[in-house]
Chains A and B, each alone.
Chain A
Amino acid sequence: MPKTLFDHVWDAHIVRPETPDTPAVLYIDLHLIHEVTSPQAFTELRQRGLRVRRPDRTLATMDHSTPTTPRNALGIIPVIDPQAIAQLDQLRKNCADFGIPLFELGSANQGIVHVIGPEQGLTQPGMTIVCGDSHTSTHGAFGALAFGIGTSEVGHVLASQCLLQSRPKTCAVRIEGQLHPGVTAKDIILALIAKYGVGGGTGHVFEYMGEAMRALSMEERMTICNMSIEGGARAGMVAPDETTFAYIAGRPYAPKGADFDAAVARWRTLPSDPEAVFDKEMFLDATSLAPMITYGTNPGMGIPIDAPVPTPEQMPDAGSRQELDAALSYMKLEPGKPLLGHPIDVVFIGSCTNSRINDLRQVAHHLRGRKVADGIRVMVVPGSQQVKRQAEEEGLDTIFKAAGAEWREAGCSACLGMNADQVPPGKYAVSTSNRNFVGRQGPGARTLLASPLTAVASALTGVVTDPRTLLDQE
């Protein structure tokens, strides 16, 4: 029977097949852990006297509760929050006790878990990758099956390197056509979720395909796969191709020499067979897309940036009318009014969705020789220490600082507001992150999700701005 990309990866990782009474035992190739969702799993292991089965397939980083404040005179990133200190200490102890490599806060390789996997070459096609974090879907951009798990499951993988899983359904997401200038990968995924809803992919694994997807760089594919979870899909995948192989080649953990060639030969067998059948299909025409922005309190509440905020009359049922009412009252936005020109207070450029070097280059390109609007706080937070170093080598940090933006240390930062990087109550932020939930960026924060291009355009004017105006000026 013809197989999909998902089937190829899934079938190759079956330790024990699914039966009517038991789920499949699925082998996990790479387990990434961080300080927030792992401590209770290690406690479980200790209580049961279990070891970590494959510390050599496990890697830890510090990202969620870590501060991103600039280093002190000693070159150290100061952690002040006692709870964060305890959590980081616990991770250090767990890694030391169980022999797990750790990318320590501020060290050369530390960063957001979904940024470091790919940049280190740990993320490879055909692998199964899990992490106690829903945006593990990011790694699917390489043709890996990658998904988020809960803490109990983190314990399962630590102890057995396996998970008990029922086979999900597959959904082909065809993205055809070509993007217009000013429209980016972020706009593709925001438009897809706006079209199919935040629950549209529930129970399914997405495979993104089509002309528009093939044209994207690995970083852009990661941006799209990252937000699969926002569309309800636990994982999103892209078939590996020459773009994928070129990205991986030469990275620290990637196979080398003849091993690399052998791996590429294996990776070439992964794409879906031509006759493969999916359980469901979704479609998006990239040519028709405008830059997107969200107006509400879930990532599906998005509109083309030049469109008005929807009105209750446009909603299909009572439930969604109520949801819209609640969202607009929290966001303090009026139905039927345009978002363009709406004043903003903060711009956040960062998160595992958009904090890689190309995102920062794009932002710097438009900030060069300019100033951000008066009174606007602009945070630029690199996804990893490596991204930070590279940006500094290229002088991007100088551009950010000269423009009046903050250049911070690597981490999740204002994406989830677990540290001091927050959007103040009632303030509006244009954010390149992935979630606009109530209070996500801090209590009372009002988040407008958008692409880095829209974020920089808005940072320059202090109001929600169509990024295509930047291109007109060139």
Chain B
Amino acid sequence: MKLAKYAKFRQEKFGGVLFETRSERVYALNATGAAIVREIGAGCDELALVDRMNDRFRDSGGSIEREVIAFTANLRQQGLIEE
């Protein structure tokens, strides 16, 4: 899993922005979304991503896994990440 060819990420104080330059769409991310996208940009796969977010946010209820999966599915649907 990696950022799509035309997707550019930049960290911001509020979280981050994802800019899909082919469609010229811009997406704002909150801090959590930015953390996930940063890991994806670093080449992290989905399983490792869940582990890292669990470590970072110390969740034991399984909500992180659900949120990460839903969020990455959303990114994939928008063409912002690819395998």
A in complex with B: no
